[in-house]
Amino acid sequence: MGMAQYISARIVYAVVVSMIIVTASFLLLYFSPNPNIQAAAQQAALGGENPEEAVERVKEARGLNDPIHVQYMQFVENVYTLDWGWSETRSEPVTDAIVSSFKYTAQYSVPWTVLSVLIAPTLGIYSASRMYTWKDHLATGFAFFGYAIPNFFFAILLVLVFGVWFEIFPITYDTTVPILSLENAWQLVLPVFVLVTGSIGGTMRVARNESAEFMNADFMKTAKAKGVKPTRRYTHHVLRPTLVPLSTSLVSALFALFVGASVLVEEVFAIPGLGRLLVQSIISQDTSLVLGTTLVFTFVGVVGNLVEDLVFTMIDPRISYDDR
Amino acid sequence: MATEQPDTFDEVNWESVRSSSGIVNLALKTKLMLITTLPLLALWLYDRVAVGQREKTFVQLGKDLGLSGPFETLGLTWNPAGLDYIFIFTIFLFAFYMILPLYENPRMTRYYWKEFKRNRPAVVSLVWLAFVFVVGIIGPLFIDKPEPDILKSFQPPVYATVDTANIVQCVGEASGGTCQGTWQHPLGTTGSGRDVLAFMVHGTTITMKIAFITTLIVALIGISVGTISAYSGGWVDETLMRMTDIVLAFPTLIFFLMITYIYGASLGLFIVIFATFAWGGAARYIRSKALSVAEEEFIDATRISGASRYRVVRRHIVPNTASSIITNLTLLVPGFLLAEAQLSFLGLGDAGLLSWGQLIASGRSSLEYAPWIILAPGFILFFTILAFNFLGDALLDALNPEAESEAEK
């Protein structure tokens, strides 16, 4: 199998996975009680009407009496044409709600991603170049700490220490300040710090262990003998082979955190981003919004896996596509 | 993992080898497992059939057996739920298939211990996890469930103080507008007046339940899929691995949020959902390990000797992949503990559950004046997750001699 074929197979596969997830969501919703119907029945009962008639009316209006495959096709079509319905609690289309919250998610996700990509390999190679010195142990200890401490607990600790006790940083996120202002950057310091610590932990370990392999490789000795400066040796000779395993680990760590931890970090710092939107929609029982936000996160996950595989194939020319 | 080899070949007692391969002479662990599981199963059936929804199992059992008196003096009013049975079953499995073999093979145990001991953080981790295990198993027997008591809300821990403006009543000494903590509540109380220490002890049991039951489910599915896939090959392998890919790509947390939205949260649901979507990594790992084992010549030898496919997999492939399985599972557990805490923190867990996550969640709104509610369980959770990670790393070194060991370099 050639590389082009491999990539197209991967993309087809991603589409299949997304279909499976959409189908699973549909089945879940299909077999669960619909809060809209219950609300209609309740209203009818309160207004002295026949609740069963009201239920029938709502079912008819929403097309719930159609056979399952018709409903399914309609559902799939709506999902892929971004017709995700109306959010009752926010009184706007679901897509609008998602776009407006995404603005806030992006504000901390971009700096966090850039910082992680820069810091993790640097720290890992630095650690490997000074293996088993106290500097290495310090870096490794930091990595383990960042990896093991629950992100949300770390966020709470930071809020407690720097927000409540020392009052250096604001406790809650202020949406009124302009995006490109110093105050905005200042209030994003803690969330970004928490996420960077969380994401570089595992990646830095990978970078350290992988680059350690090349530190004493023959080509490094040659480079050294030829008088190549240490920095250049690390950036040109060690970093490149290290990037192959590192990229997958980094991409997957970033996506895992985006889907998992960002929800919690947003919740702790009260950032009105996507994660908070999802939690709020679940608590306020807003079905369309729950579905819309979960779909965004699942699609991000699927695309993340795809990107991970593609990055892998592009960086490493040695991989054979014959067996996966 | 543990191979039953004597020190030298000529010391092999062939009599014992022959007798242990009989059908009637089951291995000691199997016997013990049967002896303990059968009563458990009987109790479970009894619970399902004879005990009503609102009655407590052991109170009812006491009545039926005419032993109400002795049961009462022993304080046996326990009412186990479905999860408790599975939990006890997993503990038996753990005791007879992990601990007992280690005891039966002192030579290998000594060797593992020697390798393991080099990694000091891992030894500390093991001690910590053993402590958590013991507290989780026997703690609830001695410490009652913390009951809410609104008059005792926000009592500070010992040696700490809280502003009296924030509390209803002070259990300890109140002087100059601050309330002193007392030994009555060594770690303080929550906003609803529950004792933090007692809450944490009961939370430990929940933690152990999550750790053990998910491990059992993940191990069962992971081992089956991994070994079957490796040993069968062909389209079976292809299908199973594609399934694994999907499971790996599945955003479990988000999916669980949706299920919670529709059906409401419960610990059982949490365990089932997370375990059924977590075996992907284990299956892949075990498959690759099993593939390399299946190439070995002793597998061919076994097959030529007429061993069935099941026997080859069960007796030769699975034991030889055990080290990968154990390491992988140890590194999986902290993820589950974290997920539970995170969900509770978001207010999407089972609010009636006495878990660490719920305790952290309950202290959220009062962080400014009552940080102890979050700090105590938060640090315990952190240490436990850290311990599992250290332990997993050390097991990787000790059980897998080929793996690069960091401690040895």
Which run of H or E residues covers position B162?
A: strand B161-163
pLDDT at B90: 86
Residues of A in contact with B273 (CB under 8 A): none
User: Is residue A14 situated within a structural domain?
Assistant: yes
Q: Residue B24 in 3-state DSSP?
A: coil
Dist. CA A193–CA A225, nearest whole Å? 40
Task: Say whether both A211 and A307 belong to one domain.
Answer: yes
Task: Say whether both A269 and A220 belong to one domain.
Answer: yes
* CB-closest option in A32, A150, A285 to B382: A150
- Answer yes or no: do A301 and B251 touch at CB < 8 A: yes
- Answer yes or no: do A20 and B341 touch at CB < 8 A: no
List the single residue in B with minimal CA-CA distance to A304.
B249
- Nearest of A106, A107, A142, A108 to residue A122 by alpha carbon: A142
Q: Residues near A248 by Cβ (< 8 Å), separated by ≥ 6?
A: A308, A311, A312
- Nearest of A183, A159, A162 to residue A172 by alpha carbon: A159
* Tokens representing residue B262 in the block: 């529709």
Mean pLDDT of chain B: 77
* Tokens representing residue A321 in the block: 């596509």
Dist. CA B86–CA B43, nearest whole Å? 12
CATH number of the domain where residue A119 is located = 1.10.3720.10
pLDDT greater at residue B402 or residue A152: A152
Instruction: Give the best residue of B125, B166, B237, B338 to mutate against chain A (max A CB count within 10 A).
Output: B338
List the single residue in B with minimal CA-CA distance to A269.
B364
For chain A, list residues whose CB is within 8 angstroms of any CB belonging to chain B: 13, 17, 20-21, 24-25, 28-29, 32-33, 132, 144, 147-150, 152-153, 156-157, 159-160, 164, 209, 259-260, 263-264, 267, 278-279, 282-283, 285, 290-291, 294, 297-298, 301-302, 305
Q: Is the pLDDT of residue A266 over 80?
A: yes
Q: Domain residues for A52?
A: 3-88
Task: Say whether both A181 and A252 belong to one domain.
Answer: yes
pLDDT at A257: 74
Q: Residue A154 in 3-state DSSP?
A: helix
User: Is residue A324 situated within a structural domain?
Assistant: no
Q: Is the pLDDT of residue B124 over 60?
A: yes
pLDDT at B15: 57
Task: Say whether both A13 and A99 belong to one domain.
Answer: no
pLDDT at B127: 92
Q: Is the pLDDT of residue B257 over 80?
A: no
Mean pLDDT of chain A: 80
Share of chain B above pLDDT 90, in %: 2
Tens digit of pLDDT for each residue in A61-103? Answer: 666 677 788 888 888 888 877 777 787 777 888 888 888 888 8
Tens digit of pLDDT for each residue in A32-50? Answer: 766 666 777 777 777 777 7
DSSP per residue, A120-134: HHHHHHHHHHTTTSH
Residues of A in contact with B246 (CB under 8 A): 17, 20
Taking residues B242-249, report their average pLDDT: 78
Shortest distance, CA B332 to any CA of chain A (angstroms): 12
Task: Say whether both A286 and A189 belong to one domain.
Answer: yes
Task: Say whether both A41 and A122 belong to one domain.
Answer: no
Instruction: Give the best residue of A152, A267, A279, A300 to mutate against chain B (max B CB count within 10 A).
Output: A152
Residues of B in contact with A259 (CB under 8 A): 251, 253-254
Q: What CA dihedral angle connects B196, B199, B204 and B206, to 10 degrees? A: -150
Taking residues B80-109, report their average pLDDT: 82
Q: Is the pLDDT of residue B400 over 60?
A: no
Q: Is B253 on the interface with A (CB under 8 A)?
A: yes
pLDDT at B408: 38
Q: Is the pLDDT of residue B393 over 80?
A: no
Q: Is the pLDDT of residue B406 over 50?
A: no
Domain endpoint, select from A28, A55, A88: A88
Q: Residue B216 in 3-state DSSP?
A: helix
Q: Domain residues of chain B, as ranges?
A: 195-408
8 A C-beta contact, residue B91 and residue B134: no
Dist. CA B358–CA A182, nearest whole Å? 36
pLDDT at B76: 62
DSSP per residue, B230-258: HHH-HHHHHHHHHHHHHHHHS-HHHHHHH
- Answer yes or no: do B367 and A160 touch at CB < 8 A: yes
Tens digit of pLDDT for each residue in B206-235? Answer: 888 888 888 888 888 888 888 888 878 788
pLDDT greater at residue A77 or residue A54: A77
Q: Is the pLDDT of residue B275 over 50?
A: yes
Dist. CA A196–CA B164, nearest whole Å? 39
* Tokens representing residue B184 in the block: 């009555």
Dist. CA B142–CA B140, nearest whole Å? 5
- Answer yes or no: do B386 and A148 touch at CB < 8 A: yes
pLDDT at B18: 53
Q: Is the pLDDT of residue A4 over 60?
A: yes
8 A C-beta contact, residue A290 and residue A281: yes
Q: Is B351 on the interface with A (CB under 8 A)?
A: no
Helices (H), B250-317: 252-263, 267-276, 279-294, 297-304, 309-311
Q: What CA dihedral angle connects A48, A49, A51 and A56, to 10 degrees? A: -160
Task: Say whether both A195 and A304 belong to one domain.
Answer: yes
Taking residues B326-347, report their average pLDDT: 83
B163 backbone dihedrals φ, ψ, rounded to 5°? -65, 130
Domain endpoint, select from A53, A88, A123: A88
Angle, alpha carbons A69-A70-A73 (nearest 5°): 85
Residues of B in contact with A152 (CB under 8 A): 341-342, 345
Taking residues A123-142, report their average pLDDT: 84
Task: Say whether both A82 and A102 belong to one domain.
Answer: no
pLDDT at A275: 85
Helix, strand, coil content of chain A in percent (nearest 5) = 75, 0, 20
pLDDT greater at residue A158 or residue A302: A158
pLDDT at A12: 87
- Answer yes or no: do A153 and B255 touch at CB < 8 A: no
Q: Give whichever of A31-45, A246-260, B208-222, B314-328 has the largest mean pLDDT.
A: B208-222
Residues of B in contact with A197 (CB under 8 A): none
- Answer yes or no: do B342 and A150 touch at CB < 8 A: yes
Q: At what angle do helices B279-294 and B196-232 cross, to 10 degrees?
A: 40
Taking residues B263-292, report their average pLDDT: 82
pLDDT at B5: 56
In one letter, which amino acid is B173?
Answer: E
- Nearest of A260, A26, A99 to residue B252 by alpha carbon: A260
Q: Is the pLDDT of residue B72 over 70?
A: no
Which run of H or E residues covers position A62?
A: none
Domain count, chain A: 2
pLDDT at B220: 87
Q: Residues near A169 by Cβ (< 8 Å), separated by ≥ 6?
A: A158, A159, A162, A163, A186, A187, A189, A190
Q: Is the pLDDT of residue A319 over 80?
A: no
pLDDT at B78: 67
Q: What CA dihedral angle connects B11, B14, B17 and B23, to 10 degrees? A: -170
Q: Is the pLDDT of residue B375 over 80?
A: yes
Length of chain B: 409
Q: Is the pLDDT of residue A3 over 80?
A: no
pLDDT greater at residue B337 or residue A246: B337
Q: Is the pLDDT of residue B274 over 50?
A: yes
Q: Is the pLDDT of residue B52 over 70?
A: no
Q: What is the ipTM of this complex?
A: 0.77
- Answer yes or no: do B341 and A17 touch at CB < 8 A: no
Q: Is the pLDDT of residue A320 over 70?
A: no
Q: Is the pLDDT of residue B403 over 80?
A: no
Q: Is the pLDDT of residue B272 over 60?
A: yes
Reported as a pLDDT band with limits 50, 70 and 90, residue B24 is low
Task: Say whether both A216 and A152 belong to one domain.
Answer: yes
Domain endpoint, select from A88, A104, A132: A88
Task: Say whether both A218 and A256 belong to one domain.
Answer: yes
Q: Which fold has domain B195-408?
A: MetI-like fold (1.10.3720)
Helix, strand, coil content of chain B in percent (nearest 5) = 70, 0, 30
Dist. CA B337–CA B384, nearest whole Å? 9
Reported as a pLDDT band with limits 50, 70 and 90, residue B11 is low
Tens digit of pLDDT for each residue in B127-166? Answer: 999 998 888 888 887 877 787 777 777 777 777 777 766 6
Task: Say whether both A147 and A218 belong to one domain.
Answer: yes
